[in-house]
Amino acid sequence: MPVIACIDDLKTLYRRKVPKMFYDYCEQGSYSEQTFHDNVQDFRQIRLRQRVARDISLRTTDTTMIGTKVAMPVALAPIGSCGMQAADGEIKAARAAAAFGVPFTLSTMSVCSIEDVAAASPDPFWFQLYVMRDEDFVDALIERARKARCSALVLTLDLQILGQRHKDVRNGLSTPPRLTLPNMIDMAFRPEWSFGMLGTPRRTFRNIVGHARNVSNLEQLSTWANGQFDPKLDWAKVVRIRDQWQGKFILKGVLDAEDARMAADAGADAIVVSNHGGRQLDGALSTIRVLPQIARAVGDRTEVWLDGGIRTGQDILKALALGAKSTLIGRSYVYGLGAMGQAGVTKALEVLQSELDITMALCGVQNARDIGPEHVLVPQDFEGRWRT
Ligand code: GLV
């Protein structure tokens, strides 16, 4: 068993274990990858304020997200094709999250279906919805999520059209993977991954195949998926979906203070400040840089969460200090999943919790709920160098 000291160690192992096309799918941003890199780098510009001689004997990382107690301010973000990173990947991640006490979000574009995860996970999970042109299919998805007792609907707003990721184009990425000679040779060098995949029936987009009209095989699936993200999605439709769902409602993909106010007006219980991990609008600001203005813009009207660039517990503390109530992690847990399956997701969560806990202690904070701007040092121009 390799020694895992940090999330980067999981990433190193992940790279060895998973076929290149899926590693590349995860570990990239769109176009020049500027925003993808900025998400991580901008955290490094913020420094932590060391405080001493404070009682730090009774620390806790627990908090709440939309009224539910969580073991730390972290949820697992929706990940497309997650079940290609490890066999039954969504089920493994959902189980790890439930055991740890943090929420798991299932993507519309998952490999394991809503029903697969509901049958295998001990706790309710959140369902992430992409609005598709096929309204009957979207209605049915919402109904399936309700039947599966999903405890929140996470509506993604920043993918009405797909930003190009060059590596996917070059790798000819598909789910299941196309069995070209280079792909087969690559898979032969990842025996654990290959045997896992051979041992599961879950190797395609199971929320879609057999559910969407006229999609019963793979060729039909790729034709369907390419044209399905709905470019007409607007705030009126967001409100209609909220009314249709009626339960806890989270809007993901907000990067602008004006949009954040509109998301609060639309009745979101929480918004996720997100640029889709730098996978959509390349050239957009990093999430940590826009967070303070968004937090100021919405105040207490909705919970503000952040994803993008979180690789350490220090990053979580910084996000909370700059105005987020909680965070979501994507790649940090996918590295663990690809490296070691369910145990790897647990490991990623343990690493982040331990780093958060020790960082809190060294900043003199006992309780994650008390993290605030007084615990960080932010460069004076951190927010102010850009003007519309
Ligand atoms: C899908 O959400 C992706 O970013 O690939």
Give pLDDT tens digits for 29-85: 999 999 999 999 999 999 999 999 999 999 999 999 999 999 999 999 999 999 999
| Residue 129 token pair | 């919805």
DSSP H helical segments within 155-285, as ranges? 166-171, 181-188, 191-198, 218-226, 235-245, 257-265
Tell me what pLDDT residue 219 has: 67
Helices 235-245 and 257-265: crossing angle in degrees, nearest 10, is 40
Of 22, 36, 162, 228, the one to substitute when testing ligand 1's pocket (max ligand atoms within 8 A of C-beta) is 162
Q: E strand or H helix at 376, and its extent?
A: strand 376-377
Give pLDDT tens digits for 119-168: 999 999 999 999 999 999 999 999 999 999 999 999 999 999 999 999 99
Give this prediction's pTM.
Answer: 0.97
The rounded mean pLDDT for the chain is: 96
Q: Is the pLDDT of residue 274 over 90?
A: yes
Q: E strand or H helix at 156, and its extent?
A: strand 152-156
Ligand 1 site, residue 80, Cβ cutoff 6 A: yes
Give pLDDT tens digits for 82-128: 999 999 999 999 999 999 999 999 999 999 999 999 999 999 999 99
- 154 close to 247: Cβ distance less than 8 angstroms: no
Query: Which atom belonging to ligand 1 lies closest to the Cα atom of 107?
Result: 2
Cα of 80 from ligand 1 centre, angstroms: 5
- 286 close to 309: Cβ distance less than 8 angstroms: yes
Residues serving a catalytic function are 276
Query: Which atom belonging to ligand 1 lies closest to the Cα atom of 78?
Result: 2
What's the rounded Cα separation, in Å, for the pair 376 and 363? 9
Of 30, 90, 279, the one to substitute when testing ligand 1's pocket (max ligand atoms within 8 A of C-beta) is 279
